[in-house]
Amino acid sequence: MRSRAVVDDLLALGVARVAVGSAAVEARDEVRDWLRDLGAERVCLAFDVRHDAAGVPRLRTHGWREGSSLSLWDAVAGFQDAGLRHVLCTDIARDGALAGPNLPLYREAQRRYPAIAWQASGGVGSAADLAALAGLGLAAAISGKALLEGRISTEELQPYLRGA
């Protein structure tokens, strides 16, 4: 979501929470206002990251096409005063690869910001990957390709589906 009007429309239609990506990098003050005005439970910041040569997760925007000097850690810190609660973090080097999620990245995210409900994306290819992420205490995980290809069965998903 890149505009307040679209965010407001979706929430008015009954969407429980909207994901805000590039706008959280390019219009940080505005997105901070969204968090304050709408409530931290209604807004999830979606950060796509690629690790630089020093191993720092740097944000990418506009469908991964544009780089940023902003680190994931600085981006999250910049929204703490607005009550940030939900972050979806995609390790784009692993997205679609089915090679397992970046557990060190999510472990570090939990260590640095334990009050954030972290959602992992990128690399999830099996029920074992879901178990590993759950073991880190993450709030959620995204698995697209593995589900489309039938690599995770309905039975294997059941422990991770709240209220299902």
- Give, as one character, the DSSP assignment of residue 38: H
| All domains of the chain in start order, with CATH | 4-160 (3.20.20.70)
Confidence of residue 163 (pLDDT cuts 50, 70, 90): low
Confidence of residue 152 (pLDDT cuts 50, 70, 90): very high
| Helix, coil or strand: residue 108 | helix
Q: What b/e readout covers 146-160, taking b as 16+ CB neighbours within 10 angstroms?
A: beeeebbeeeeeeeb
Confidence of residue 138 (pLDDT cuts 50, 70, 90): very high
Distance between CA atoms of 118 and 141, rounded to whole angstroms?
Answer: 9
Confidence of residue 68 (pLDDT cuts 50, 70, 90): confident
For residue 104, what are its two tokens? 């060190």
Distance between CA atoms of 29 and 32, rounded to whole angstroms?
Answer: 5
Please count the CA atoms within 13 angstroms of the CA of 73 that sit on its side-chain side: 12
Residue 46's pLDDT is 96
Distance between CA atoms of 164 and 161, rounded to whole angstroms?
Answer: 6
| Helix, coil or strand: residue 129 | helix
Distance between CA atoms of 78 and 2, rounded to whole angstroms?
Answer: 18
